[in-house]
Structure 1
Amino acid sequence: MKHLLWLTLFAVLSLTLGSCAPKPDQQTAIQERYLFSPDSLLVHIKTLSSDAFEGRRTGTPGAEKAKNYIIEKFSRLQVLPFVPDYQQPFSFTARDKTYNGVNVLGLIKGTQHPDDYIVISAHYDHEGIKNNQIYNGADDDASGTAALFAFAEYFEKHPPEHSVILAAFDAEELGLAGSHHFVDNSIVPLTNIKLNINMDMISRSDNNELYAVGTAYNDTLKEVISQYKNPENFALLMGHDGKDGLQNWTMSSDHAPFHKKDIPFLYFGVADHKDYHKPTDDFENIHPEFYNKAVKTVISIFSTLDGIRF
């Protein structure tokens, strides 16, 4: 009788536990919450902001090393070259000096609108070495550059409807020279570039706040951002567009040349922190949990916008 009771209890428990276990479609949904590898994201930002890259100043061996790192990762993540060998070289003069820069441009072909483009950008250059100190630029902007690889991982399982140009711009710190060259020498008609999503400083915030700039200039973008549901301990805010009394970031990074060409843009960034443009902007000072949420947020916003015809 005891054996019969135990068998009956085991059967009941098995049915109960089985009903609580995720079904195959539920398991897929749970797994797809992880749109990219958080560990890889941290490896990339740590590597690019290490002393080995010497602050990634435009035209230096450190910048060359960063360029090669980005190309290698794009290739490994099956990102197509948008230009030969991913490289768009350019020359410019800034501060009475001539520089040679290189934008790194990858392509993900769209499944529904292959001739319309969304440019997802970040700048890979930083301040280099000053007074024998390396300015590693972990937040500014190894954070955005590493996020480009997270997007590439996402696209492996979620191909975009629009074609996407993953743009690692050079010489942002020298007057946005790389992004200016990109739009002034556009490889595709500018009318075919429907949106720029720019990421510059997205890996740390004492208040867990990420700003989305650009909504003041486009009602569709404003609606999408306003409807975004924030994860716990994270806030996506609109502002810094010159219309709210806050510092105006409309022209502050590589989204500015797109805006000047009347191309809608969203700039994702955090408020300036104590290590901004200082040699202490190191990997050890980023906020990994916030950074992970920030990248997931930008990807989520992209996913929504990718389904809209601009």
Structure 2
Amino acid sequence: MLFLSLLYVSIAWSSPWRSSVQLSPVISDKDNLSVLEHLKNLSSDQFLGRKFASPGSIESQDYLVSALKALSIPAFNNQYRHHFKQSTLFQSKQGTNVIACIPGTHQKDEYIVLTAHYDHLGTKRNKIYNGADDNASGVAALLLYAELLKNSPLKYSVILLFTDGEEVDLLGAKAFIAEQKNILSKIKVNINLDMIAGSKKTKKLRFLKKDLAQLLSSQQLDELTQLQHHFKTNSVIHLTPGFRRVKSVGSNVNRANWLMASDHGVFSKAGIPFIYFGVGTHKNYHSEFDDYANINQNFYLAAINIIFQQLVYIDNAMYEGVIPD
């Protein structure tokens, strides 16, 4: 089995890292089983690779909406499905973002946006590209976070944005930014999860961050950096800043431009700070071998825990900055 109780990293309070902010507790074994079940389901043949504007995509949407309803997670602006069009010279296709929102306890009208794209590549040469790492892993994590945050909301409201069309020029993220101009100034940060389970040999969870100085004081930025360094040296995922500058495997997309490699790039272009978590490319990327059997389960469960702790830290740290002296 997975030896779940051995996976997690607690903060070594005797270490040089210090914070007045209490970090979240580790995620339970029950939560781990739930998130793995979501990942397994979403990357099954049932969804035929979740290709943009396909029957498998619609089934994926149904799955997400059902899961959110089962958890009593409120829909964003009173609807879960937010449609958009991709129009070309010869045809028009409909994409659909699935969006929910959990009100914050203190700053209800300001938002942290969590993103994970649910679309993938569909089928090629009669083989299903199930996209377990890319990106059923991020989607399943967001479903778990939805449950955790419903029971213990953050200070800021959290928008859970499951984007469509990431594999087609980041269409879903672009549609969200275009449709939500009235709240863009209220979005404090985007945290994007795209490929956080890796392959069997994956050893590092990488991250990219930009413009966090708009949110956090220099002291808080230093604390966050120290926390991330702690996770690099004291966890099974070896949290590491930056991505390898290589062209992606199995795709004509040049992922060397990591600033625009996934949905966070759209938020960044709109002036919104972000942190992007992912493993980068690996041998199963954009292939029929990216399935549930080939992910690194121990790595994945540790990753979702450590990402969640950083989310809670950022939420608390941002609020510290608005509390009157």
TM-score (norm 2): 0.80
Structure 2 counterparts to residues 16-95 of structure 1, below 5 A: 32-34=25-27, 37-93=31-87
CA distance in 2, matches of 1:222, 1:99: 42
CA distance in 1 between counterparts of 2:186 and 2:75 reads 18
Q: How does 1:111-130 map to 2 (within 5 A)?
A: 111-130=105-124
Q: Does 1:209 align with 2:212?
A: no
- Which residues of structure 2 form unaligned runs of 5+? 1-21, 246-254
Question: Structure 1 residue 240 and structure 2 residue 234: aligned?
Answer: no
Closer, same or farther: CA 96–267 of 1 in aligned 2, 3 Å: farther
More helix, by proportion: 1
User: 1:156 Cα deviation (Å)?
Assistant: 3.1
Cα 1:97–1:126, aligned 2, differ >3 Å: closer, same or farther? Answer: farther
Q: Aligned-pair distance for 1:95?
A: 9.2
The 3-state SS of whatever aligns with 1:204 is coil
2-side partners of 1:174 and 1:96: how far apart? 16
Q: CA deviation at 1:234?
A: 2.2
* Aligned CA-pair RMSD: 2.3
Q: Aligned-pair distance for 1:75?
A: 1.1
Answer whether contact 1:199 1:267 (CA < 8 A) is retained: yes
Query: For the Cα contact (< 8 Å) 1:49–1:55, is it kept in 2?
Result: yes
Considering Cα pairs closer than 8 Å and 6+ residues apart, tell me whether 1 or 2 has the greater RCO.
Answer: 2
**CA distance 1:296–1:174, shift in 2 (3 Å):** same
1:161-213, Cα deviation, whole Å (9 max, x unpaired): 00000000000000000000101111642110010000000012524211111
Distance 1:274 1:144 in 2: 19
One-letter amino acid of the structure 1 residue matched with residue 238 of structure 2: A
Identity level (%): 37
The aligned counterpart of 2:15 is: none
Deviating runs (4+, > 6 A) in structure 1?
none
Ranges in structure 1 where 5+ consecutive residues have no aligned partner: 1-28
1:267 corresponds to: 276
> Which protein has the larger Cα radius of gyration, Structure 1 or Structure 2?
1
Are residues 162 and 95 of structure 1, via their aligned partners in 2, closer, same or farther at CA, if it must alter by over 3 Å? farther
Q: For 1:154, give the aligned amino acid.
A: L
Would the aligned equivalents of 1:94 and 1:175 in 2 still touch at CA under 8 Å?
no
Structure 2 match to 1:139:
133
1:299 and 1:62 mapped to 2: Cα distance? Answer: 29
The residue that corresponds to 1:23 in the other structure is none
Structure 2: how far apart are the matches of 1:73 and 1:85?
14
Aligned pair partner of 1:105 in 74, 80, 99: 99
